[in-house]
Amino acid sequence: MKTIEDMQKVGKDNVDATMKSMGVLSKSFQAIAVEMADYSKKAFEEGAAATEKLFGAKSLEKAVEVQSDYFKTAYEGFIAETAKLGELYSELAQETYKPFEGFLNKAAVMK
Hey, where are the domains in the chain?
A: 18-110
* pLDDT confidence tier of residue 104, bands split at 50, 70 and 90: low
- List the one residue out of 2, 5, 13 whose CA is nearest residue 107: 13
Q: What is the pLDDT of residues 24-67, one digit of tens each?
A: 899 999 999 999 999 999 999 999 999 999 999 999 999 999 99
Residue 50, burial from CB neighbour count under 10 angstroms (0-12, 13-18, 19+): middle
pTM: 0.73
Average pLDDT across the chain, whole number:
88
Q: Residue 58 gets which letter from DSSP?
A: S
* Residue 77 and residue 43 in contact, taking contact as beta carbons nearer than 8 Å: yes
Instruction: Say how far apart CA 34 and CA 36 lie, in whole Å.
Output: 5
pLDDT at residue 74 greater than cutoff 70: yes
pLDDT reported for residue 101: 78
- To the nearest 10 degrees (0 to 180), the angle between helices 60-110 and 2-56 is 180
